[in-house]
Structure 1
Amino acid sequence: MLDRIKLGLNYLLPKKWLTELAGWGASKRAGWLTKAVIDSFVWFYKVDMSEAQKADTATYRTFNDFFVRPLRDDVRPIDTDPNLLVLPADGAISQLGHIDGDNIFQAKGHHYTLEALLAGNYQMADQFRDGEFVTTYLAPRDYHRVHMPCNGILREMIYVPGDLFSVNPLTAQNVPNLFARNERVICYFDTEFGPMAQILVGATIVGSIETAWSGTVTPPRTGVIKRWTWPGADEDGSVVLLKGQEMGRFKLGS
């Protein structure tokens, strides 16, 4: 019954308005109140602050500063083997495996297509047919920065407008096409392993997406898809990121 109520609220609540409100509050410097909210969050979600560069919650000026807190350099060592990929996010792998032609497995009874996920970009989708995928779930307590699984040259970024359903095991199992209907930012790279797309999917409350090369990806209010492109590695203006380097992060707001 509780799960049905949670799912119903996902459809009924004004998700974008709530997300904008959360972002407004999370960006405010409110002194003791900010610290009290952070301390309550740490206690409720059992956040391990010993892994953070700044373990003292009083050092964070805003809630968003805390939410995107960097980790100590020694807590997540990067495997230097050039033949291995590293997990780009510090969360739980919810799904991984082979892309069956055009179909990606979401949860039991649910699939979505490459074309839908990539906002109808058929040329890009063709490069990933019968490829491999990993879906990583970041819980509220997790580190909310995203890193490179290997060296990569950024070639294209696509902002895709959409909904802001919660992204968790419950919604993945019950909301059709969840990752292809939520607001997201597609980052396309050339790598030594071939083409790679890292897709940052927004969610209720946590809908603000930043990248290392452009900061906050500000969506056009007209609700249209927006694309940016970059040159190759040897050209002026290229963006080259190394394995383990931060490429993006999630914040409260939209």
Structure 2
Amino acid sequence: MSRDKLFALIQYPLPHHLISRAVGTLARSRISWLKNLLIKTFIRRFQVDMSQAQEPDPTAYSTFNDFFTRALKAEARPIGDGIVSPADGTLSQAGRTHHGTLIQAKGQAYSITSLLGGDMRRAAPFRQGSFATIYLSPKDYHRVHMPVTGTLKEMIYVPGRIFSVNRATADHVSNLFARNERVVCIFDTEEGPMAMVLVGAMIVAAIETVWAGQVTPLSGDVQTIRFDTPITLTKGEEMGRFKLGSTVVLCFSREIDIRAGDHDIPVAMGERLDRPTEAGETPDATASVADNARGEQQA
């Protein structure tokens, strides 16, 4: 058995939420020596670049959470043309959504309906669209921004487990992103309907949005909040943040040629994700990681 598979399997019996809440308590601590120790150890362990932070002094943060969700200097992340990455991280999968199916990893597929909380009506616009999955590692900037300008229509909290979302787990835990606790945000945009899914993960103590504050942890069933008063956020504007790392899954209702390749691609928040196309052109099917992976799965 490979080390990656063993790492994935040992997560099943763990008390995910208990572990994450315990870590959350530490991350909120204002005890000076403790929070400074946590921050400095984290910077050293994950080689965090503080030169781009608005506040580069690690000891200036009140809590580990404040450090982890730190703001960057205004010039650190210029906003590009087209559809941009909502976060720093790794573009791990991207491509077409065929008959409501997305690719999680090689040999692993899952449904758009389950990802968005089990409502077929909500999932219907995205069944033949496009998607992109961005994994945020511990060293990354953990605020999430708008890839395009959009008006929020509804927010859905979906309870679940909180497995790790790194590559090893994505390769071996089926339906990972549709299994973990998550916050689904549906927007109307100039690109058509867009879903932004903020996926929780092991030791992620909370997910926040700018309009609702801290959303997770909650308890109970799927909870839906609709917005009669428009909430419009412009491209590049902050929409939420993770308190410890996780994943963002973007879903669009139409085919978009999202750049991808044979390997994980590092991306920065504000960096263009889609390839510009000339008038009359259609997206290049050969450029899609999802199409390639789907072909491997069917072979």
Conserved 8 A contact 1:164-1:207: no
Structure 2 distance, partners of 1:170, 1:218, is 25
Structure 2 distance, partners of 1:3, 1:112, is 20
- Deviation of 1:4 after TM superposition, in Å, equals 3.6
Conserved 8 A contact 1:22-1:252: no
2:208 is aligned, of 202, 207, 210, to 210
Change (3 A) 1:91 1:252: closer
Structure 2 distance, partners of 1:252, 1:24, is 13
Equivalent in the alignment of 2:250? none
Structure 2 distance, partners of 1:92, 1:252, is 16
Q: Which runs of 4+ in 1 moved over 4 A?
A: none
Equivalent in the alignment of 2:173? 175
**1:38 alignment partner AA:** I
Residues 162-211 of structure 1: CA distance to partner in whole angstroms, max 9, x if unpaired? 00000110111100000000000000000011000000000000141100
Equivalent in the alignment of 1:89? 87
CA RMSD of aligned residues (A): 1.3
- Deviation of 1:9 after TM superposition, in Å, equals 2.4
User: Are 1:228 and 2:229 matched, yes or no?
Assistant: no
- Deviation of 1:96 after TM superposition, in Å, equals 0.4
**2:73 alignment partner AA:** R
SS at match of 2:10: helix
Conserved 8 A contact 2:182-2:198: yes
Structure 1 distance, partners of 2:50, 2:75, is 14
SS at match of 2:95: strand
2:191 is aligned, of 184, 190, 193, to 193
Percent of residue pairs bearing the same amino acid type: 51
- Deviation of 1:40 after TM superposition, in Å, equals 0.8
The number of equivalent residue pairs is 244
Conserved 8 A contact 1:159-1:219: no
User: Are 1:243 and 2:235 matched, yes or no?
Assistant: yes
Conserved 8 A contact 2:23-2:205: no
- Deviation of 1:3 after TM superposition, in Å, equals 2.4
Conserved 8 A contact 2:206-2:217: no
Residues 25-63 of structure 1: CA distance to partner in whole angstroms, max 9, x if unpaired? 100101022111111100110100111111110101111
- Deviation of 1:220 after TM superposition, in Å, equals 4.0
Unaligned runs of 5+ in 2: 246-299
Equivalent in the alignment of 2:130? 132
Structure 1 distance, partners of 2:205, 2:121, is 27
Change (3 A) 1:85 1:252: closer
Structure 1 distance, partners of 2:33, 2:205, is 26
**2:236 alignment partner AA:** G
Equivalent in the alignment of 2:4? 3
Conserved 8 A contact 1:160-1:185: yes
Equivalent in the alignment of 1:47? 48
Equivalent in the alignment of 2:67? 66
Conserved 8 A contact 2:87-2:143: yes
Change (3 A) 1:133 1:73: same
- Deviation of 1:252 after TM superposition, in Å, equals 4.5
Unaligned runs of 5+ in 1: 232-236
